[in-house]
């Protein structure tokens, strides 16, 4: 069989990893496929930087147009990241008859619904395994391995940067900003790290997982999203005292015609599988009506793991190119005509247990006023801790609630923070009990 010719857009962290695998593992890849995959060309704005790789056999350019329009390329790998110009280059590559593989979750979450039909119309494949869970083949597991199931929930730790930061803050009492710098140096973070720490990257990934799990269209803009930037070492310590760790989770569940999708720092019991996923590792739990609970674990970020997932997609496409692309599984796990518009459940309607941290003046009657508002909203408390006074006049009061509707909790917190003796910086974290 003829060789499959690859063009690479972006020689940053992941692009360098992909080039490295295609060069260093060429013989292994050929043995697995029965044909050769060749890195023909690569484009990056900075060609001067030493990447520790011999790229002398690769045609290099500083213009991505030289790749997406080239006649001698079968498959374009987009590793620029972000919405634009990535979207334009991917669309142009498809229009010029090239398959596309990308690690770009922002692109798929925001523009997947335009790109999948374009690819289908042209008889081309779009691979995006590396967009969710870095090196973990979790999309393949959900799309193919769990295909016989109605999916009941999918949730996970989907951002390596946040997990790295929370792990270091807990283990070393380290400062948030310092740890973020370390994660960036290790190549985990997005170009704009607010995407990581404010939960946007996790929301991109969750919107893809939810749509694939439930046969829905992707609705990234509707994911309820909160990040980790307001978590303090004191919250981590209070959670630990109560028997929990704080993890940034993405959670999706179907409710009839609606989908619940939320990203937020979450209290998880110490004994749960999620609590024990540390550093830049990710984990995705998929539960189905026949299979029950399945868990996928591995490196969620970084050059080598993410490049591993990109190259697996290239190999899947290389197995069928140029014939039979229609026999590959549908990219989102359901044939296009069967994918539905499912409404997103309003966050006020979700129910869970909550951790609430208030900063209150240490004076008589404050706790009584707070608990009377909670009682008005029919919210029952599981635990309450008041910490000793520090330098300021305010003291943290931490409460754990029993299960309640988010709308009721938010209404109670608005009234509580309007009290004169309570500061207006309440922190609300949600708590999850897992089956595993
Ligand atoms: N910035 C992302 C993370 C990279 O930290 O998980 C992988 O998508």
CATH of the domain at 229: 3.30.360.10
Q: What is the CATH number of the domain that holds 122?
A: 3.40.50.720
pLDDT band at 80 (very low <50, low <70, confident <90, very high): very high
Q: Whose CA is nearest to atom 7 of ligand 1?
A: 301
CB atoms within 10 A of CB 189: 26
Give yes or no: 247 in active site.
no
The tokens describing 131, both together, are 């967009």
CB atoms within 10 A of CB 139: 27
Same domain flag for 331 and 392: no
Same domain flag for 28 and 92: yes
Same domain flag for 34 and 85: yes
Cα(55)–Cα(47) distance, rounded to whole angstroms? 11
Atom of ligand 1 at shortest range from CA of 300: 6
Same domain flag for 115 and 58: yes
Residue 157 domain flag: yes
Residue 45 domain flag: yes
Same domain flag for 107 and 7: yes
CA of 112 from ligand 1 middle (Å) equals 19
CA of 131 from ligand 1 middle (Å) equals 9
Same domain flag for 316 and 369: no
Same domain flag for 39 and 188: no
Q: Specify the number of domains making up the chain.
A: 3
Residues in the chain: 436
**Is 160 touching ligand 1 by the criterion CB < 6 Å?**
yes
State the average pLDDT over residues 227-248: 93
Same domain flag for 282 and 142: yes
Same domain flag for 85 and 208: no
- Look at residues 277, 149, 141, 125 and name the one whose alpha carbon lies nearest to residue 209: 141
Residue 23 domain flag: yes
Percent of the chain with pLDDT over 90: 89
pLDDT of residue 389 exceeding 90: no
Last residue of a domain, one of 268, 298, 328: 298
**Cis peptide upstream of residue 229 (ω within 30 degrees of 0):** no
Instruction: Tell me which of 205, 247, 253, 431 is the catalytic residue.
Output: 205
Same domain flag for 144 and 122: no
Residue 10 domain flag: yes
The tokens describing 6, both together, are 């690859």
Residue 9 domain flag: yes
Same domain flag for 116 and 154: no
Same domain flag for 158 and 275: yes
Residue 107 domain flag: yes
What's residue 348's pLDDT? 95
State the average pLDDT over residues 251-263: 97
Q: What is the CATH number of the domain that holds 364?
A: 3.30.70.260
**Is 228 touching ligand 1 by the criterion CB < 6 Å?**
no
Residue 436 domain flag: no
Last residue of a domain, one of 298, 327, 359: 298
What's residue 390's pLDDT? 63
**Is 250 touching ligand 1 by the criterion CB < 6 Å?**
no
Which domain does 123 fall in, by range?
A: 3-135+303-338
Q: Are 78 and 62 in contact (CB under 8 A)?
A: no
Q: List, for residues 22-65, the tens digit of each pLDDT value.
A: 999 999 999 999 999 999 999 999 999 999 999 999 999 999 99
Q: List, for residues 291-300, the tens digit of each pLDDT value.
A: 999 999 999 9
pTM: 0.96
Residue 41 domain flag: yes
The pairing of beta strand 244-255 with beta strand 151-157 = antiparallel
């Amino acid at each position: 069989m003829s060789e499959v010719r690859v063009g690479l857009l972006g020689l940053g962290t992941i692009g360098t990893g992909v080039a490295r695998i295609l060069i260093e593992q060429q013989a292994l890849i050929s043995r697995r496929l029965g044909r050769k995959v060749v890195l023909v060309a690569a484009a990056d704005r900075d060609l001067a930087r030493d990447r520790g790789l011999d790229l002398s056999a690769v045609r290099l350019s500083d213009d991505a147009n030289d790749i997406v329009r080239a006649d001698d390329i079968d498959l374009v790998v987009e590793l620029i990241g972000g919405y634009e110009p990535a979207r334009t280059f991917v669309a142009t590559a498809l229009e010029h008859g090239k398959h596309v593989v990308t690690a770009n979750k922002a692109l798929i979450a925001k523009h997947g619904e335009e790109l999948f039909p374009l690819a289908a119309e042209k008889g081309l494949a779009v691979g995006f395994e590396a967009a969710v869970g870095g090196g973990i083949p979790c999309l393949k597991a959900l799309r193919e391995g769990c295909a016989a199931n109605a999916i009941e929930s999918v949730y996970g730790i989907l951002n390596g940067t946040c997990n790295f930061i929370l792990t270091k803050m807990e283990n070393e009492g380290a400062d948030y900003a310092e740890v973020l710098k370390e994660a960036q140096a290790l190549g985990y973070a997005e170009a704009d790290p607010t995407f990581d720490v404010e939960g946007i990257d996790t929301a991109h990934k969750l919107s893809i997982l939810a749509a694939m799990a439930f046969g829905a269209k992707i609705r990234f803009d509707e994911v309820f999203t909160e990040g980790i930037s307001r978590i303090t070492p004191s919250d981590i310590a209070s959670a630990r005292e109560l028997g929990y760790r704080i993890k940034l989770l993405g959670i999706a569940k179907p409710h009839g015609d609606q989908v619940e999708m939320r990203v937020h720092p979450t209290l998880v019991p110490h004994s749960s599988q999620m609590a024990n996923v540390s550093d830049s590792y990710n984990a995705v739990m998929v539960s189905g009506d026949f299979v029950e609970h399945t868990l996928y674990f591995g490196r969620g970020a970084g050059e080598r793991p993410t490049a591993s997932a990109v190259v697996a997609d290239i190999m899947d496409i290389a197995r069928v190119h140029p014939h039979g692309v229609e026999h590959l599984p549908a990219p989102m796990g359901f044939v296009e005509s069967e994918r539905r518009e499912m409404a997103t459940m309003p966050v006020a309607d979700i129910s869970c247990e909550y951790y609430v941290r208030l900063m209150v003046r240490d004076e008589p009657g404050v706790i009584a006023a707070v608990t009377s508002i909670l009682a008005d909203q029919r919210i029952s408390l599981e635990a309450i801790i008041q910490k000793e006074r520090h330098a300021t006049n305010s003291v943290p009061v931490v409460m754990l609630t029993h299960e309640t509707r988010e709308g009721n909790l938010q209404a109670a917190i608005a009234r509580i923070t309007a009290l004169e003796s309570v500061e207006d910086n309440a922190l609300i974290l949600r708590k999850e009990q897992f089956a595993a």
